[in-house]
Structure 1
Amino acid sequence: MSNSQFIGQLKQNNIQINNLKDQFYRTEAHMSAHENRLSEKVDDFMEKQNFDLKMHTLNTENPHHVTKEQVGLSNVINEEQATKEDFNIHLDDKKNPHAVTKSQVGLSKVDNVQQAAKIDFDAHDADLDRHITKDERSYWNSSDERSKSFLAEHASNQSNPHKVTAEQVGLGNVDNVKQATKSDFDNHLNDTNVHINKSDRDRWGAAQLSKITKDNGSVLINVSQGVDFQSVAIGQRKTFTFYTAETGINTPPVPTRGMYLYSSSTYGEAIAFGNDGSLWRKSLSSGVWSDWVNYETEQGSIKRLAAHSDNTDIHVTKDDKDKWNTPWNATWNNVSLINGAQQYPNLPFQFSVANNRLELRGSFGSLPVAGTVVAKFAYKASALYDIGAQVVGSYGTARFAYTPDGELRFDGMSVSNSSARVSFNASIPLW
């Protein structure tokens, strides 16, 4: 093919390509327009469907015509029902809410009075003391003659057949005892040994009448378990002797016997002697009670002083004082290592005890696995004490713990050089 033919064919191809492009663009534009119209119709359709569905959903007027048989209520009538609460109220109403009358229950002739029970009626019917028999009636109807005879006999009876009493004749205060003669009465009246005169009566009438003890001389008031001494003292309004139990209220902590000196309803003093020999005092001043105060005896003071002096928990001995006055005069001792722990020859691991502290210093040559006890001491600590030790020859730290049992435990270390040694310098409190 010559060049001119090739060029002509090329132009023709370009024209066909351009025509195809034009057709493609028109087809693409047509499809895009068609797609837009389809989308609009779909949107309209969906909007209408959603609207119809929404309207159907909001329709509460039974659009499907559901019947009461379909929901299992075929026997229910279309009338207003009472609520459960109304039904329960009516059920519990015992006051005849329906106003039932006695005529409606067939009792129109019954009076509203209390009726005798059947058992009461039977008991009355069988009471022979209140009922008479036919024979008894006949006997009494023929008793006129007998009555006359009985009346004559009764009239002549001088033995008080009616049981007249002294009260009935106005002598209810008279004793049935032998009476003194007039001369005996006069002799008694003139006996000045058994009678008192006015001066005696005045003197005795002005004497103190309030008892502070019982008649036999024992304490007057017993303040027992659960009784309040203060309330008793105010309520008596007088001086009195008392006994108090240790289980009483506002009483000394031991059983006591004592006396309360009354001044007024707001002032008073109480003194009590304990069964254990203690002495107690309590005061009421301006209506305010003090606590019971224990007044110590000389013997009690001596005992308490002796007990205090012998208490080694709060006192120190001369040996203790000498030791604490020279707290730093302690010696260093090598620690006996166990469970594979080794001493570092140039700086051995040592301990010393001074001023109630355990001092540790030195180095380990080697250590076992973490969690191993490397030494045991006779000195106990009050709690677990964590110890951090330096590492020489590497970056890192070593961890130890001193337990309340006096054990030194190796808890591990983190180092960059396995040949590094641990340098120890710790002070552990033993209190």
Structure 2
Amino acid sequence: MSNSQFIGQLKQNNIQINNLKDQFYRTEAHMSAHENRLSEKVDDFMEKQNFDLKMHTMNTENPHHVTKEQVGLSNVINEEQATKEDFNIHLNDKENPHSVTKSQVGLSKVDNVQQAAKTDFDAHLEDKDNPHGVTKAQIGLSAVTNDVQAKKADFDKHTSDTSNPHNVTALQIGLGNVENIQQAAKSDFDNHLDDTNVHISKSDREKWDAAQLSKITKDNGSVLINVSQGVDFQSVAIGQRKTFTFYTAETGINTPPVPTRGMYLYSSSTYGEATAFGNDGSLWRKSLSSGVWSDWVNYETEQGSIKRLAAHSDNTDIHVTKGDKDKWNSPWNATWNNVSLINGAQQYPNLPFQFSVANNRLELRGSFGSLPAAGTVVAKFAYKTSALYDVGAQVVGSYGTARFAYTPDGELRFDGMSVSNSSARVSFNASIPLW
């Protein structure tokens, strides 16, 4: 095969390889899109199933057609029953509420007349003044037996006895299935039926059925989900399959670096948005797009910007101070400043005590008008040294010397002096290294 043929074959192979790559990428994209659509359809199906189940469980219209036999009430008829109060009134009614006749109680042949006592009846039978020999049959009492009968007072007392002297049972009066419990009066029952404060209407039920069914907070209003230490925020957000409020600890997985409280807005299993507010005033956002999570992004607030700027401005490790500038400036640019004396030390008017900083040295000159007791700090400076530095000063107007010490904290301490004339003044001309 010639060189040109080899090159031509190589180009053709490359074209075929590129075509195969293109087909592979398109197939991969098609499968990914199909997977997303399938996932969304599954989500929609699950939501519908959950909604149908909730509607069924909330249906109070006897969807399973339960019968009274199944709940143990087969003997109860669907009729209005008397209240206990009405039943007691009926029992106490002595006016023959049922219109009982003498025939029904076996006294059909007894006239409604008062009967004589047995003693009177016996006396009457023995009455010799009955020449006609009247018999029971002749006076309409042929059916009356010659037995002792109760007195009318006893009979009246018996008929007035409302304590159930015959031990009548509920079964005997046709109430064998009625339990001995107090029942509401019909007026009370009707009032209950008409109470719209405790009953709901069809429009109420339809309105509540159409309301939001998914909680985004707990019942007390606090955040719904707690993403604590070791819990993955991304897994929680996808697993909820709804919008919800949350708290994240800084020790959680895929959470902001500070404790936050926020809300996740759910669109589908592959799309969502999270916004969180940090305890330090920071604002964070995280997105789920096409199944891919972004990092948490911190949106700086005005307060946070001011705080960060202040922290930067106060960072003396990266900024220089006036003292630094004074130390680094050359002697030719040095300026002299009066020292603010403390603890009773006084300036000498004609030659005030002054300082200057140059070439990383503190220069002192001038005189004291008066000094406090030995061991007293007479001035404080912003310039520090690495160790205590002893300073000797001249005494003008007498023989002797004065002793001072410059401490690592920037304090100039008067340690005393030895002079022959107490009115002599102390004159400074010292240079103290600041390292």
Greater RCO structure (CA 8 Å; 6+ sep): 2
Q: Please report the TM-score for the alignment, with normalisation by the length of structure 2.
A: 0.32
The normalised TM-score by structure 1 is 0.32
